Structure 1
Amino acid sequence: MAREFALLGVPSCAGTHGPGQEKAPAALRSAGLVDRLRAAGVKVTDHGDLPVVPFRTDPARRDRQNLPLVVDVARAVADRVGAILDSGAVPLVVGGDCTITLGVLAAHVARRPDTGLLYFDGDLDLSVPATSRSGILDTMVLSHLLGDGAPELRDVGPRTPLMPVSAIAAFGYEPAELGPAGRERLASYGLRAVSCTEITAPGTDPVAEARACWRALASDRDRFVLHFDVDVIDSVDFPLADFPHFNEGLPVETAFDCLAEFGSAPPLAALVVTEVNPHRDPTGEMVDALVSALVRALAPRPA
């Protein structure tokens, strides 16, 4: 049976570094996301957007900026995604910053506690308020999923920790961005993680690495949520991300090839697209290319 997708926009900058991501859902729709998916044979219903949450700083909470807003957005996402899941559709959630994935997973875990997470992101987002210099919650997503960080956010789902470490696989992160504290946290968690340098090593087939990653995750999880942050792409190739990684990350075509592999995986239970900043794309060319990549990833393929 063909998958039926439900598009939900989350135009929120509650957890991020600056303005722009709140405009991503509108930009993706303007580039023809819905019509192009349908033209490619994808069944998709547009469920509209949650309310816009613009960027602001939070001097009163320098180590966990805009925490109440981030929690409110995550809960709103969980409610809307839960309704989509109850209808039998596959959520296609376009943000917005990375913290929206907490809400998506809260809805899934409430219904299927064995749901996995494939974190396709240029960062591992393992910061915590106690050690973060910026206090930006966008950089703390996996820590909160794993039960660390601010109680209000780590407890946003039906259990704490929301995800056991065995249910998560990270793919494409830039090891140079981790720093000593990040490397220590990665080792302490025992998180399964494949770096961008491993994926692009000479003689390595990136798509085969992506296939091995989702299959390993699916070996004990019959469904997974795919979190795709465009900052996994080298910003020299594709400077669309809100937090750029210049001369780091994956080449753009490699990233899109891996996205297509993940999107075609039978256990895919949801796709979350994050950190798209239209302010960085005045001509619209990169948003157009991203829409093409999403269509390619989700379009039906011959058996």
Structure 2
Amino acid sequence: MAEEFALLGVPSCAGTHGPGQEKAPAALRSAGLVERLRAAGVTVTDRGDLPVVPFRTDPVHRDRQNLPLVVEVVRAVAKGVGAVLDDGAVPLVVGGDCTITLGVLAAYIARWPGTGLLYFDGDLDLSVPETTRSGILDTMVLSHLLGEGAPELREAGPRTPLLGPEGIVAFGYEPAELGAAGRERLGRYRLRALSCTELTAPGVDPVAEARAAWRVLAADHERFVLHFDVDVIDSVDLPLANFPHFNEGLPVGVAFDCLAEFCAAPQLAGLVVTEVNPDRDPDGALVDTLVGALVRALGRRAD
């Protein structure tokens, strides 16, 4: 029986820096994501979208912006993804900001406690309210998965911590964006993490490193979720990310080749795509490029 993907949109800006990401699921559909996947041999159904959550600031809680709303979205995502999993499909979740991955992992861990996470992101998201300057919860995803941060969010899943450091491999982050507190947590947790500067060093084969990364995770986990934040790509090449990284990150071709390698892993059990901001793409060309990369990656898996 063919593997079936189920597309679920999370048009939410609850945990992010500004407006635009709530438009991503509609933009990806308009670029033909579902039809192009099917043409590439991928079996996919469209489960529609969760409710739209527009951007807003929270002046009263400056170190944890919109925490109750983020928790609400996380729980809605966990319920929606859980329904997909219970139907035997593979979730293809398109956001929306990175906090939606907390809800995705909550659904998996409730069913398969040994699920791992491959965090393909331009940031390690290791901030916490006590050390943040912005208070944006989008910058705190791994910290909350690891059991730090706001209790309402770190305890939003079936266990705390939701994941241990052995269940995470981070790939492609920009070390210049990490900061002192992030570096401390990276060292304390001994997270398995490979930066974009290491991946683009002379003599390094990034796709081989991507293959090694998923194999390391798969060695101890029967399944893993891939979190793909488009800000892992240098914004000079693809200025689509809500939080741009100009002259940082991976070249667009390298990032898409690594994405295809990750999607070919037999243990891949779900894909989350985050930080797409159509407001940065007035003619739709960037979203079209991204859809092409997703189709190529998942089409390779279907082959």
Q: What TM-score range do you get, normalising by the shorter chain?
A: over 0.9
Give the aligned residue type for 2:51.
Answer: P
Tell me what 2:174 maps to: 174
1:290 partnered with 2:290: yes
User: 1:245-298 CA distances to partner (integer Å, 9 max, x unpaired)?
Assistant: 010000000000000000111101110000000000011111000000000111
CA contact (8 A) 1:124 1:173 kept: yes
Aligned length: 303
Tell me what 1:242 maps to: 242
Tell me what 1:28 maps to: 28
Q: TM-score, normalised by structure 1?
A: 0.99
Q: CA RMSD in A?
A: 0.9
Which secondary structure does the structure 1 equivalent of 2:270 belong to? Answer: strand
For 2:246 and 2:100, how far apart are their aligned partners in 1? 25
CA contact (8 A) 1:13 1:97 kept: yes
Runs (5+) with no aligned partner, structure 1: none
Tell me what 1:105 maps to: 105
Give the aligned residue type for 2:23.
Answer: K
Matches within 5 A, 1:1-303: 1-301=1-301
Alignment CA distance shift 1:283-1:155 (3 Å): same
* CA shift for structure 1 position 301: 4.9
For 2:123 and 2:108, how far apart are their aligned partners in 1? 23
Give the aligned residue type for 2:111.
Answer: R
For 2:29 and 2:179, how far apart are their aligned partners in 1? 37
For 2:80 and 2:301, how far apart are their aligned partners in 1? 29
Which secondary structure does the structure 2 equivalent of 1:59 belong to? Answer: coil
For 1:269 and 1:60, how far apart are their aligned partners in 2? 39
Which secondary structure does the structure 2 equivalent of 1:217 belong to? Answer: helix
For 1:189 and 1:200, how far apart are their aligned partners in 2? 25
For 1:6 and 1:60, how far apart are their aligned partners in 2? 38
User: 1:19-59 CA distances to partner (integer Å, 9 max, x unpaired)?
Assistant: 00000000000000000000000000000000000000001
Which secondary structure does the structure 1 equivalent of 2:220 belong to? Answer: coil
CA contact (8 A) 2:260 2:300 kept: no
Give the aligned residue type for 1:121.
Answer: D
For 1:181 and 1:300, how far apart are their aligned partners in 2? 39
Q: TM-score, normalised by structure 2?
A: 0.99
For 2:301 and 2:291, how far apart are their aligned partners in 1? 18
For 1:69 and 1:302, how far apart are their aligned partners in 2? 37
Identity between Structure 1 and Structure 2 (%): 81
Which secondary structure does the structure 1 equivalent of 2:114 belong to? Answer: coil
For 2:294 and 2:192, how far apart are their aligned partners in 1? 25
Give the aligned residue type for 2:95.
Answer: G
User: 1:58-103 CA distances to partner (integer Å, 9 max, x unpaired)?
Assistant: 0111000000000000000000100100000000000000000000
Greater CA drift, 144-153 or 180-189: 180-189
For 1:161 and 1:9, how far apart are their aligned partners in 2? 26
Runs (5+) with no aligned partner, structure 2: none
For 2:61 and 2:115, how far apart are their aligned partners in 1? 32
* CA shift for structure 1 position 302: 7.8
For 1:178 and 1:88, how far apart are their aligned partners in 2? 38
For 1:256 and 1:302, how far apart are their aligned partners in 2? 17
Alignment CA distance shift 1:302-1:230 (3 Å): closer
* CA shift for structure 1 position 2: 2.8
* CA shift for structure 1 position 185: 1.2
